[in-house]
Each structure stands twice: as C-alpha cells, then as structure tokens.
Structure 1
Amino acid sequence: MLTSTYHFKSSHKRELFNKCLTPAFVCDAKGRLLDANVAAEPLLSDQQTKNLWHIFDMGREELSTQDKHCQVVSLIQDSSQQSLFLLYVDKLDAKDQIYLVRAKPQLKYFNQPLGVRERPFFYDALTGLANHYAWYRRDQHRLYSAPCALVLIKLHNLRAINILVGMQSGDELLRELGESFKAMSSSSIHIYRFPGAKFLLVLNQPVESLENWLYENLSQLLRDELSCQDLQGMHLDWRAGATLYRNQETAQALMEECSIAMAHTSPSYPYVCYRDEYQMVIAHRNRQQNRIYQALENEQLDLWLQPQTLASGKIVGYECLCRLEDSNGEVIPPDEFLPYVDLNNWYAWLAQLVWARACELLSDWDDRLGHVPLSINLAGPELLDERFYQMLLKCYSQSALLRQRLGLELTETSMVGQLAQTKQRLSSLAQAGVTVLIDDFGTGHASLAQLVDLSISILKIDRLFVSHVLDSSIHSNIIKASVELANSLDMKVIVEGVETAEELHALKALGCKMFQGFYFGHPQSYQKLLEQFKS
C-alpha cells in the first residue's frame, strides 16, 4: 500500500476519495504519486511503484492542463492486466499543481490487434471521425508531407442552438456534418473532430490561394440546409482559421496560429488565414488586459465628475465617470477598459471599486461644492452578483445620506437586455429609496410599463437626439415627447451632450430644464474641481 503524503482539505473529501469504487490517485504534475485509494491497490504492483507512469502508458511526461476546465481524458493501457482505462484528471490544488486522477476501467482487449485496441481512443463516437488524440499522438507526421495547411473550423453558435432546440438536435447536426466531412476526405485531405464544435482539416495538397480554397470549398460544405427538422431555417455561424506549415513548426504552434486567425473572424469575414501581424495584435491585447487587471488589482481608480446644471449654469448634480490609471500613472479611458471588463466578466469587481470610491467622495465632500447628488454607472450584470447586491441593499437601507446623494445609472439598452432577476433587483433598490437614472434614453426599446415597474426617477436623453435638434424636426419631436412623458410620470429629465449655446436655446424651447455636456463643463477629477472652486 502506498504511504499517503497528501492531506485533503476536509475529512469529507478524504472519505469520498477512500470509498471511490474506481482506482483513484493523487499526484503532482510529473506523475509522482502522493496517495491512492483502496480500489487502486491492485494496480500498485509493489512498493517501488511511485509514479503514475509506472502504472499506465500515458505517452507523455506530465499531466496536461490545456483544457479550460482543467480536465483531460486520456485512454491508456495497463501493462500488467492488458486492460484499457479512461483517465479523468482534475486539479485538486492549482497553486501546488496537485491532481486527482480517476481511472475508469474499459473493456478487456486480450490479444486484440493494435488497430482494434486504439479505435475507441482515436475516434470520435458521435461523428465517427478521427479525434484530436489521433492528430496529436498518431498523425502529426502529415505535417511533413509538404505542402501542408491546417484549417480549424468551429460552429460559433452551437451553444445557442443547443439552448434553442436541445442538445439532441445539436448532436444530430454534428453527426450530419461528420458525414459531409467523410465525403470530403481523401488521401490528401484528412479531417479530425476536436472537442466542442471544432473540426481540423489537414490539407496535403498544393493550393494556389488558401483563402480562396476556404471560400470555394467550405461555403458549400458548411451550408444552412440540413435534414434535421428542428434546425430548418436556422443560421449556422461557421468560423475558420487557417495557416500554412513552415519549417520546424510544431503541431501545437500551428494550432495556436489557427486559433489566432479564428479570433480575427467576423460574420462578414468568417474565414481568415493567419498572418504574422495577428500575433502582435494578440500580444497587444494580452498586455492591455494585464494592464487593466493590474489597475483593478491595485485599485488605481478615480472618479471624474461632470456637472449637471440648470440653464442658468447652477450645478444640481454630478455624474461620476470612472477612469483607471496604469502603473505609470497614465489614464485608461472607458472605451479601452470596458471591453475587457465585459470579456472577463469583471463587472462586479469594477462596480465594487467604483462604489467604494463614490462613498469616499461623499464622506470627504467639500461643502463649497454644494450638497448635490452624485450618480455612478452600472452595466447591469453586477446586480446578479449576490454579494454586491446585498451590500447595496444594506448600505442604502442604513444610510439616508446615500439614498439622498448617490444614484445608480444604467443605460436603457442594458436595462432592456437584462434578465428578469436583474430588473427585479433594480426595482427593489428603487423601492428602498434609491434614485435610479436611465441613461441614453431613446436609443433602446424600454416600454412604458418597464419605466413604471422599475420606479425610474430620472431619464437622461441621449446626445444622439441633441446633436440633431437644430436641423431635424423628428429629433426635436422625440425630445419634446420624452420630456412630456417624463413629466406625466413624475420623472425628471437631464439632456446629455449639450455643446453649444444654440443647442441649449432649442432644448429650453422644448421644455428641457436640466442639462449635461461640454458646454457646461468637461469631466475632471474631484481635486481639480475643488481647486477650480477655490480659485
């Protein structure tokens, strides 16, 4: 029996490990065994068995973590029993690279030829195509059969299809596509099914233009016409990234080039060939993401204030606009950091920092600036974060100052697109006394019922209408109707994007009373605003 050197974080996990009916091991990334359960004892031939590779022929030197869920499946053969096992590898401790390995026994393959033994491993059960293991472990030699090109194909909207019509129809789609790929296969075109909705085409034939080949061959193959009734009329969003083999490149490097090319696809350009400059773009994105992450991690965030005024110029409030600063003190504007917040779902993280800074502003507020309300912007998804939502409820319920002085601002577009739970929580906050502002009003599709249900306090009319108020009666009429609607619902209106005296005069004639824009003041930090008042 192997001497245990790993301590589980709880006795419950230790008990589950010991009572697992399939062989289970704890090891590090190099396969060194730290623990094994009772079911694994028959595979531990003697006390010299200290490494996972002594038990299974893995064909590698360390455990893989390529899968985004930190789970890989590897079919291996136990040399002592001539049995096949399916390995499930999960991370137990990411920091120390400790893994839990479960070995599920497969069918016995005594005296079977190699081709029969390897088939369950190297072939995809759903489509019958060779799979990614076949490519990485068996067929990489095809790279050196010049010329060679790799094409990685992905059904971009498979997840949406599975949600709309069910996974069974999604599987039927993949099976049908597998048959089309089989018909396309030849001695110079090899096709592999990769995890998810990805397929790899390996071309061992000369092509005058790889991009032309993609459009000529894939456009017909990846068509929308399908036999499955549930999928009739449904658009299939196919994307493909391709690259050519060049001397000394590895299969993994080429796959990364295909993925980089695919990242540059769009509905208008679904097939893209790799270019060296794409690598520079990816590197720039990674640097930018790290720059933004570090700014959030170090709480290098400031709120710039833009005044909201009456026509006379009297300030009646401020909108707090978030700005990040990198380690060099350079300001990162919203149009640079917000896409990465969305991409990485950092909404709650950013909102927590903005909230904390806004509360600091209120506590340090100089009376000379007037006791006027502030508002911070939310995107909507952060309200689904239970911790952040409960914090908002608690703080607002306990502080009359916050209810009077700190509003929450969401765009009409984001509000309409939110889940029912988000709208319910926003409505609960409004009923608790929170001032809710709808930004960019008129650019979304909020219904009258939604405005009433959410207990909106203030509508902010978008700059899109203000910029045409002098030359378009349609835009003027929309502004006038919005003001009349808000008045009938006992809501206030702030008109955004006012930049000239002529615009201000026209807006006053339409019944507008509160304004925001460069005509009245640019966003600036609290310190600069305070210095301006002092001077």
Structure 2
Amino acid sequence: MASASLTITIVLAGFCIMFFTPELASARYGLLLFFTLPIILRICYGNKAAVAGMLLNVIPFAVLLINEPLAPLLGIDMSLPGTYIYLSSLVFLFFNFCLPVAVIRVLTSLEQQSQLNREQSKKLGKLVKRYQEIFNNGGTPSFFCDQQGRILHANKSARKLMHNAPADCRFIYELFTLTRPLIAGETAEAALHSDSNAIYKIQPASLIHHKKQLIHCFDISHTTAADKKIGQLKRQHITKHYSDALTELKNHHYWSHQFPQTLAHPHTVILLKLANLKDINLQYSFSAGDQVLADAAALLRNQLPSSVNLYRFPGAKFLLSVNTSQSSTENIPDWLEKHLPVQVIQRTGKKELMFNLQWRAGYCSSSGFTSAPLLAEACAIALSQTTPNRPCEQYDSKVVKLIRQDTRNKDRVKRLLDEGSLALWLQPQVDQHHKITGFEVLARLDDPAENQILQPYQFLPQIEKNK
C-alpha cells in the first residue's frame, strides 16, 4: 500500500503541476517528478514496471521539447503567488529526502542480506570443509567424476589405487576393467587393470541435485576368494555326495536324484551283488577286496552297452538301468550271463592272483513305480530270493507277502522266547501192561495272546534259520 500510494502521489503531483500550472518554469518541476518515476517503480515493483515507466516518460519529454506552456486543463488554474517557492520546496523535499530515504532503505536491506549471505557462506564453507575431510579420510575409495567418467576428485584411499595405475589415468574406465557404462543406483564388479586379483564392487551414488557422479569402490577381493573357495568346496561336496570314490561311478544318491527323469521311458532295474566278496575280504584282506570291487566296476563299464546306466550301491552292490526297448525282463538272465565279467586278475609284483566273480541279481520293471526307494526295495527283495542254483530272480509281489508273513512269524517266536513262554510237556511212556515206564519231554510255545500252543514244526525252523 505504501508503494502504491507513493507512486500514485508522484503521478498525480506531476499531472497537477503540468496541466494546472500555466507558468512553463513551474510546469517543468512536474516533468522532473515524471522522470523520477522509473526509479521509484524499480525500487517498489521491479524491472518490468521500471521499463514501462521509461517508455511512458517519452510523453513528458516531448512536452519539454516543445517548450511551450500547456493550457490549463478544464480551465482550472492552480497558480498562487508563492507557486514557484512551493514547487521548489516540493521538488527539494522529494529529491533530497523521499528518494534518498527509499534508496537508503533498499541498500540497507541489500547490505543486511549481503552480511547474512557472508555469514551463511562461512558456515557453509566450514561444513564443506568437514565433509571434505570426511570424504578425503574415508576408508572406502571414492571418486568424483563427470558424466563421461573423467576423474575430477579422489579421496586419499582412491589416490592410493591411482598410484599403481598408469600415469595418465584420468578416467574411471582406465583404472577398472569395466565392461559397461556406470548407471546411478546400479552396482558393477570389476578388477583393477594393474592387479587382476583385486576385485572391487563399483557403486555410483544416486545424486538427485548434481550432474556429476560420486562413485564408491568396495574391495571384495577377500569375499570373492571366499566365495570361490565355498563354491569349490560345494562342488567337491556334491561330487562326493553323488559319486563313489572307490569305483568312480555315480552312486545311489545320484540315481535317486535323477530317477524322476527316467519315468517317461520304461526300463528294467537290476540290482547286482558280488556274492563272494566277503570270502575274498576274509581270505586276502579288505584292501584286496576293494581292488577286486574296483576292477569289477571297470569291467562292467567296458562290457556293458553304452546305453546301460551303471551305479554303485552300498556294500558289494551295483545297479543297472536297462532300457526296456533294448532288453526285456524275460531274457534278463541270459543278457546278464552274456555281459557280466566272471574273473578279475590282480598283479602284485611277480605274483598274479585270479578271482572268480560270483554274481547275484534281482531285477524289476520300473512300470508302476513312482518312487526310487520303492523300486530299489523291490529289486532288493528279488535279490534276497536268489540262491547259488538260481542266481537271478525277478521281483514278484507274492513273495513280499510270504516275506512279511515269515517276518511276523520270526518276531512272534522271538517275543515268546523273550517272555519265557517255552514250556516242557511230559508225555508218559507205558509198557504192555499200561504201566508208566518213563516220560518223553516235548517242547511247546504257549501264546496266551492268541490262545494257541505252537508245535515244534511251527517255531523250530524259525529258530534254526535266524540263530
């Protein structure tokens, strides 16, 4: 309101002096007020208002050039006896007091703002020095680069990296083996050109209000080496877990792992057992038995068709996976007799030992089995039914019932014996005159839970078989 009042007062005073004072000398004072208007407009409103005032002052300047008094507007004459003194006083007060006071006020404000800016600049300078000190002494190598990757500033840790770099290293790409441009917020891994074993994680900081790049470099050499070692140990563990050290064959873990992939193609699974390995171990030592087992595995690899998958199972067992289209279950015994090795020869110095290999085999078709353990169990059941005269047997689900029944009988007999249910019955012996001459002792098993007395033929075979 004060700015508007001052502006309006100057304009009205100028109009009144110029149009209501017929004396030309007095009217010129009104023109001087118009000429001061751009300064007032600039102080109060800004550059655009000042330029507008300059352009409008062309009209009073034209009146001044005409140098003729203007006729009083509407016939009103404001001339007074002391008009000249009054107007001179007005112009004196305006130029000597009003205008200087306005300029002093503006300049005072500018000086105060300048002083405040200097104080803020000092504080900012101290803050910048603190951050500069933190940046320089930070343990992480950091670079300040432009958008092209040119190194503008580097802290102490970063300068140590640059000492080993070429003398003309001016770009971040000349220091690290970067394969792609750096993007704010995305990390990259790179090695030093001067040391390929020094691996760093390059992390450009996300600067929102700055066009430059702040790049932090984290040394991950030890972490990378540890990761490699862990990866190597993991691979070794997987290798040990899925392979057999003695025969170098894939083991039962690997077969179980890849079993679901074989369900799409029916195949025959054969569980082989080296039946006389126990005798070889007892007669020649366990090391000799291990060597026989390793040699037998090598012979199996060489003599079996390449389409047959061979695995080592715990103990003296091997598992063969045969594609049904190549060999059906009906001729498995003949197929085994044709492909299984029968002898292993070991040479120790001048001595030569020959070992005959006695194989037992239980086999089963994979059709109907969706679990590797169940299929292996079926082959193991078939293997348990083999004898020296029948070394190869096919899995039969009826045999499982007999085995389970036999197991239940064995457990029943053992339980009754542990409970002290064995009873001795005395059967009298009489002569022709029906006189008792002695007693025959008979063994019986009393099973109160079943309310049954077991005869010798019902429990003696179990005892003899499982003693």
Shorter-chain-normalised TM-score: which range? 0.3 to 0.5
Give the TM-score, by structure 1 length: 0.40
Of structures 1 and 2, the larger Rg is shown by: 2
Give the TM-score, by structure 2 length: 0.45
Structure with more of its chain in helix, by fraction: 2
